Amino acid sequence: MSSSGRQVSKAQIIGGLIVVCLIWGSTWLAIKEGLASVPPFLSAGVRFILASILLRLVMAQQGERIPIDRKYWMLILETGLLTYSIPFAFMYWGQRLIPSGLSSVLFATYPFFVALAARFRVPGERLPLMRVIGIVLGFVGVLAIFSGELDVEHGFSPIGMACIVIGAALQAWALVSVRLKGRDIHPATLTFGGMIIGAAVLSVSSFLVEDYSTLVIDQRAIVSTLYLAAFGSVITFITYFWLVKHVNPVLLSLTAFVTPFIAVSLGAVVLDEHLGARVLLGGLLVLAGVLFANVPGLRSMIRKPEAEGPK
C-alpha cells in the first residue's frame, strides 16, 4: 500500500522494520559507551545539537518550513521538555547505574504509560480487557525487577531503574499531547522543534551542574555521539514515519517487544552484562504485557487485512 500511488514492496517494509528495531535496540549500548567518558547531560545535549542540524538539512531538502504560530510553539515547548529534555536527563543519568539491556527492558513500559495517559486524556478512549491484562503483567514485571538483585556489586540500582521508568512515563504523556494537539503539524517539524529545546536545556544544565574535569573526548565518545545523532535520532525517525504511511500501527508498536531482546543481547556480548534470573523473569513479564496489550489491535488487523493504512 502506498500513499503516493507508488507500490511499496513487502521487502521494503520488512527492511524498514528491521532498521528501526536494530537501531533502537542498539542505542542503549551506544549511550552506555558514551557515558564511559562524557557526562550524561552533555552527552545528550550534544547528541540533540547534531541531530537538529541533520534534521534541519532534511527538512530543507523536503521544503518543510518552521511554523510561527503560537499553537505550534506551545506544543513544541511541552514536547521539548517532556520528550527530549527531562526524560533524557533522567534516562542518561540513570543508565550510568544499570546495564544497558535492563534499561531497554524497563523502557518497554512506555506503551503501557501511553495507554493509561490516553485513557484519561483522550475523549472516548477505552482500555479493552486484554490491554488491561497487558498493563498489569508489565507492571508486575517491573516490580519483579525492582525486587531483585538491587546491590551495587551486580550493577543494579533502584534509583537508576526508576529514572528509566520515569523517562518512559513523561515521554508517554507528551506523545498523547501530540495526538491531541499536533495532528496538523508535520512530524519532522515537530521533532526538530523539540530537539532544539532539548539540546538547549540539556546543554545549559550540563554547564551549570556537571564536572568536566573527567571529560575524555576519545574515539568511543565521538563514535557513540555521532551514531546516536545520525542513526538513533534522524534515520530511525525518517524510517519510522515512512513506515507509518504503509504499516498498521499495531505492527509498529510491536517494535517495543523486539528491541529489548536486541539490547540485552548486545549488552551481554559487548559489555559482558549479565542479568539475574529474577530480572530476566521480570523482563519477560514486561514483554508479555506488550504482546497482551496489542492483542485487540492484532485481532482487528487480522480481520481487516485490506483495510486502509494508518492516518
- The predicted-structure confidence for 125-163, as pLDDT tens digits, reads as follows 787 888 888 888 888 888 887 775 544 445 568 899 899
- The identity of residue 99, as a single letter, is P
Residue 286 to residues 2, 42, 43, 248, 292, Cα–Cα distance (Å): 34, 31, 28, 22, 10
Give the per-residue pLDDT at 128. Answer: 82
Q: Where do runs of H (alpha helix) occur along the chain?
A: 10-35, 40-62, 70-79, 86-95, 100-107, 110-121, 129-146, 158-181, 187-209, 219-227, 236-244, 249-253, 255-270, 277-293, 295-303
Summarize the confidence of residues 69-92 as an average pLDDT: 92
**Nearest CA among 45, 139, 150 for reference residue 97:** 150
| Euclidean distance between CA atoms 190 and 67, whole angstroms | 10
Cell numbers representing residue 122 in the block: 483522550
Q: Phi and psi for 169 in degrees, rounded to 5?
A: -65, -40
- The identity of residue 150, as a single letter, is L
| Euclidean distance between CA atoms 206 and 163, whole angstroms | 17
Summarize the confidence of residues 3-15 as an average pLDDT: 69
Give the per-residue pLDDT at 300. Answer: 63
Close Cβ partners of 125 (under 8 Å, ≥ 6 residues apart): 118, 119
Summarize the confidence of residues 260-279 as an average pLDDT: 84
Give the CA angle between residues 311, 81, 43 to the nearest 5°: 105
Query: Is this model's pTM higher than 0.85 or not?
Result: no
Cell numbers representing residue 158 in the block: 533502584
DSSP letter (8 states) at residue 36: T
CA dihedral 120, 121, 123, 124 (to 10 degrees): -40
Give the per-residue pLDDT at 309. Answer: 42
